[in-house]
Structure 1
Amino acid sequence: MRISQADQPFDITIDHLFVAGWTGRDGAAVRHHIDELADLGVAPPSQVPLYYRVSHALLTQAPVIEVLGESSSGEVEPLLIRQGGKTWLGLASDHTDRDLEAHSVAASKQACAKPMASGVWDVDELRDRLDSLVLRCEIRENGDWVTYQDGTLASIRPLQDLMTGAGLGDNAAMLCGTLGAIGGVRPASEYRMRMEDPATGRQIALEYAVRTLPIVA
């Protein structure tokens, strides 16, 4: 896989992929969300946060992903990448099958591709301002772009804590959790996401479309 830092492209190898769940920094809000999902039949996590293992082949830079049925949706998330003892920060979408989620969150994470941006930043250069980084996601809805998620990394557990909790080693990547969906979680045909550094004005952008496949029996 090819990524780029400061317009300098280089190749990386990802052999292990994690999806961190229940990563909100506000413990009471996380518990409330767990209780809400329990009412919908979603089993509570065995621990908080929880590090789901999924196939590394799910990471993709394709502009279109294919999903089964119309119940999946994406989420903007910071992406940590470890390569050669160095940590890079990128951007990805934890696209998830929401119907399957009611039966198994782990299975729902494995069911969909995880689009990722090609741009990355050096985490060492951002350590003193990681919480100020802004995440935004827009979805195409009824022909218009609508704000779907908007917030900062301050609402997510510190990335270093998540990396330590997962035991993230070389040739590994982890999606680190997300923000609440404005108007509720729902599917969309197109997504555009970005992570912004207010101190420098830099952005990492990600756009992708979703092609639904029919469910046949």
Structure 2
Amino acid sequence: MNFTCNGAAVDIAIRHMVVAGWTGRDAAAIQHHIEELAAIGVTPPSATPLYYRVAAGLLTPSARIEAVGPDSSGEVEPLIVQSGGRRWLGLGSDHTDRKLEAHSVALSKQVCAKPCAPELWEWGSVADRLEEIELESWIDKGLGWQPYQSGTLAAIRPLTDLIAGADFDALAQDGGAAMMCGTFGAKGGVRPAARFRMEMRDPSSGRSIAHEYATDTLPEVA
């Protein structure tokens, strides 16, 4: 994949992709998200957190993706990318088929593209203040952008803990690896939208990364 970091091109061959789920640090927040998804039929997790493996080719910086049926939606998440002994922090969306999620969370994550911003930050440039990093998302259902999610990485388990839990360093030794690291509850509940916008901000430096994408709905043929 072609990324940029500090204005320079960074080409990384992503061979492994992990989606970490149920990563909230606050037990009440985790339960809220479980109940939020249970409302649309999703079975509670067997443990928290869980590390879902998905096809590496799902990660894409495209501004447009396709999904079968009208029931998929995005989630803003921190993205860790690692290759050749280097690590970066990025921004991604764990786009998921919510209808299929009620049957199998693992399968629902496998069938959708995972959009990401094409820009990365050097890990070392933010490693001392990761919990200050802010994430926010908006959706557009045809009536303009509406606030959807917001929070800081302090609400998510420490990213270094997730790296250890996923055995991510070992994966990254076998080619480039990427991991999405969890999200926040949705304002008004989880729901699909034609367009999704997300942003990551570092208050200390004033830097930000943003990305938005549209979802084209393909017919669900039985």
Is the shorter-chain TM-score for this pair beyond 0.5, marking a shared fold?
yes
Amino acid in structure 1 at the alignment position of 2:200: M
Determine the structure 2 residue equivalent to 1:47: 47
Task: Indicate conservation of the 8 Å contact 2:142/2:194, yes or no.
Answer: no
Q: How far does the alpha carbon of each residue in 1:41-73 deviate from its partner, in whole angstroms, 9 at most, with x for none?
A: 422222210000000010011111000000000
Identity percentage of aligned residues: 58
RMSD over aligned CA atoms reads 1.3
Q: Give me the TM-score of the superposition, normalised by structure 1.
A: 0.96
In the other structure, the counterpart of 2:30 is 30
Q: Which runs of 5+ in 2 are unaligned?
A: none
Which runs of structure 1 show a deviation greater than 3 angstroms over 4 or more consecutive aligned residues? 35-41
CA distance in 2, matches of 1:44, 1:125: 36
Amino acid at match of 2:107: A
Hey, what's the Cα distance between the residues in 1 that align with 2:188 and 2:105? 22
Amino acid across the alignment from 1:176: C
| CA distance in 1 between partners of 2:161 and 2:65 (Å) | 31
Q: Which moved more, 1:204-213 or 1:26-35?
A: 26-35
Secondary structure of the equivalent of 1:185?
Answer: coil
SS in 1 for 2:128: coil
How many equivalent pairs are there? 217
In 2 relative to 1, CA 42–6 (structure 1 residues): closer, same or farther, beyond 3 Å?
A: same
Kept after mapping to 1: 8 A contact 2:37/2:190: no
1:146 aligns with 2:146: yes
CA distance in 2, matches of 1:79, 1:39: 27
Q: Deviations over 1:172-191 (max 9, x none)?
A: 11000011111111111111
Q: Distance in 2 between matches of 1:40 and 1:213?
A: 21
Residue 190 in 1 paired to residue 190 in 2? no
Q: Which amino acid aligns with 1:177?
A: G
> Aligned pair in 2 of structure 1 residues 106, 140: CA closer, same or farther (>3 Å)?
same
Alignment of 1:91-106 (within 5 A): 91-106=91-106
Matches within 5 A, 1:130-169: 130-169=130-169
The answer to whether residue 178 in structure 2 is matched with residue 206 in structure 1 is no
Distance 1:177 1:183, change over 3 A: same
Residue 37 and residue 142 in structure 1: after superposition, are their counterparts in 2 closer, same or farther (change >3 A)? Answer: closer
Select between 25-34 and 167-176 the one with higher mean Cα deviation: 25-34
Q: Which runs of 5+ in 1 are unaligned?
A: none
Instruction: Give me the whole-angstrom Cα distance separating, in 2, the residues matched to 1:111 and 1:104.
Output: 11
User: CA–CA distance in 1 between the matches of 2:33 and 2:201?
Assistant: 27
State which drifts further: 181-190 or 35-44.
35-44
SS of 1:18's equivalent in the other structure is: strand
What is the match of residue 185 of structure 2?
180
